[in-house]
Structure 1
Amino acid sequence: MTTETHLPTETTTYVGRPRFEGANIRTWIGFKHFTYLMEEGVLQYLRDRDLGPTKLYRDFGLGVEFVDSSIQLPNTIDLDDEVKVQVTRDERKLGWAFSVRMTVDRGDGPITVLNGKTRVQLIHEVDTTPRSSVPETVAEAVSEITSLDTTGPQTLAQLKSEDPNAFLWSWRIPYFYCHYSLRLQHSGYVRAVEEVVDRFLFDRGLAIEEVLAERGWIPVVSRSRITLLEDALMGETLHTVMRVDEVIKDVMYPAKIDMYVERGGTLFHTATASVVHGYAVSRGTEAGTLATFDDETRTKLLGGR
């Protein structure tokens, strides 16, 4: 008889619906709620194997941390869709890495709405008293979030002067974006990515409410990736930098987003993200299609370049 020392690789299927909160324009669901459903699917995978977050925390003193996520969104989710989330552990990678496929069925068979990958690390939580030692099945995912990035700006002054065309937003990390009484969690970063885009567009003269009213355009995301590099702690100030350097085929623009905290005068790079944005037409016969940027929109996105 052999003892299993690795998390199984069979697929778990989770079925859920997007939250009402996510339908900001018409009944289409925004990208962060795709990510929330992906997280729920992975948590269900763990619960099905008696490794839910509560058990991991109470029994072994471990916190579940989503440290990397990458998603492609080929189709939309509507508010009343029932979403099937299929999660499989990727055995080719160390730790707990997962492949995720999300589908909806509106009567003509399944439509893929998300293809994604995500990775979970288990973090030793300092304010717990574990009941048991960590089994081998769990130990493979135990690690700390440690940044290997020493190439970026080292001070806030350097960050502000490095790229004058970048947009900088500094904000205090609230407790309701955190978990385990300490850290900014993955979904908090997802919210920050959504908000910095909103603030960037306002700063560039493309306020979402104005573009929606005047043109019937709304921002849409086709790809997103978020990688955690270092702990960002409740109450710290997170310096969030967004850069747009190109427009692709006049229908989309990739943005690079980096986040830092300052401790003792030194910056620590806590996360990096990328997101590919475009605009969808929200009304009329072309509703749901991609809008084509005009010269004014393209110039504003690129900061006048």
Structure 2
Amino acid sequence: MRTKALLADTTSVTLRPRYEGSNICTWIGFKHVNYLVEEAVLIHFARSGASARLLYEEHGLGLDIVRLDTRVLHAFHLDDEAEAEVVPDTSDADSTLGFKVTLRVTRGGSSLKAVTATVRVALRTDTYLDAPGQPPGELARFATERLGTDAPAADVAVPELPADADERAVLTALTEGRNAHAWKWTIPYPYCHFTERLQMSGFLRLMEEAKDRFVAARGISIKTLLDDRKWIPVVPRSTLRITGEALMEEDLYTVYTVEEIFKDLTYTARMDCYVLRDGALALTATGRIVHGYALIENRRDWRLVPFDQRVLDAIGGKASAR
């Protein structure tokens, strides 16, 4: 294991977005852009002799991405090749490993910076199976017994619940007085890893679903705006942070709250995820996503468009949107 390389060297690798991420025309959605970032970081670990498999099987350490902040500057298309660069980042003095990731794409013979991201990784000690041996000496300081113990204080107020609160009461407490949509969901195993816990890619899938559920509830579902005017949602930025652990088959309460509408061009929404334990809500993840809309001009091109009154009313929670 070349720990010095893991903590200091730069990794460059060529990646391609997956076919699954091409949902509308040939553009790649934000979730799969983040998957490219994740893959680049995993390759950096593997090339340093500390692959996710080795860390778990030999040392009982689960590699968990716990913070992700991604800006999309240029859209990816199906069959694009991304030139990814991973640079270790020691600017945060906590017990996670930090990286800066840049994805470049070729357009018209020029290499363009398409994505920039910052990533924090935790090495979670496995407690599901028999206790493992000691982690490698140089990585011992990054090992943690539980995700979220080193997370910065979340700017999220966790509501108190009445005694014996049922599902309706919990959802009401989470959305009351807010421009928000919430639902309860039982965590299935395909969203989990290391046998028991929801992983970062699972939370990204939830963030995508939260947008889908929100606009559908407001009368402007994805298909509605596609059919009416050929508008598609676009995402210039997303952030996500794991603040606690959510376990397989637990009930997860997800809340999507609109925080700001900027110049009729984008809006920022926050996603908060909670589990209910011993009658109290525990925050397990929080993040923000910036959305705009683009008009499909042809099978290859789109352009950003301002919100019209119907969309503004829907996002803002006005009755006229229905």
TM-score by length of 1: 0.93
1:272 aligns with 2:286: yes
Aligned equivalent of 1:152: 158
CA contact (8 A) 2:160 2:280 kept: yes
Where do 1:79-98 residues align within 5 Å?
A: 79-94=78-93, 95-98=96-99
Within the alignment, does 1:181 sit opposite 2:195 as a pair? Answer: yes
Q: 1:161 to 1:177 in 2, by over 3 A?
A: closer
Deviation at 1:109, TM superposition (A): 2.0
State the Cα RMSD in Å: 2.2
* Alpha-carbon distance in 2 for matches of 1:184, 1:154: 24
Q: 1:63 to 1:224 in 2, by over 3 A?
A: same
C-alpha offsets along residues 226-283 of structure 1, whole Å, 9 cap, x if unaligned?
A: 0000100000111111111331111110001111010121110000010000011113
Secondary structure of residue in 2 paired with 1:92? coil
1:108 is displaced (CA, Å) by 1.7
Query: What is the number of residues matched between the two proteins?
Result: 303
User: Gaps (5+ residues) in structure 2?
Assistant: 162-169
Unmatched segments (≥5 aa) in structure 1:
none
User: What residue number does 1:111 align with?
Assistant: 112
Contact 1:58 1:129 in 2 (8 A): no
* Structure that is richer in strand per residue: 2
Q: Does 1:222 align with 2:221?
A: no
Which position in structure 1 is the counterpart of 2:210?
196
Match of 1:235 among 249, 268, 291: 249
Letter in 1 for 2:270: K
User: What does the per-residue CA deviation read over 1:193-223, in whole Å, with 9 as the maximum and x for residues that have no partner?
Assistant: 0001000000011111010011110001000
- Report the CA distance between 1:138 and its aligned residue: 1.4
Indicate how the Cα distance of structure 1 residues 244 and 227 shifts in structure 2: closer, same or farther if over 3 A, else same: same
| Residue aligning to 1:15 | 14
- Change in CA separation of 1:109 and 1:57 when aligned onto 2, cut-off 3 Å: same
Query: For residues 29 and 105 of structure 1, what CA distance do their matches in structure 2 show?
Result: 15
CA contact (8 A) 1:71 1:223 kept: yes
User: Residues 171 and 237 of structure 1 are in contact (CA less than 8 Å); yes or no, is this contact kept in structure 2?
Assistant: yes
Aligned to 1:250: 264
Larger deviation, residues 289-298 vs 188-197: 289-298
The percentage of aligned residue pairs carrying the same residue is 37
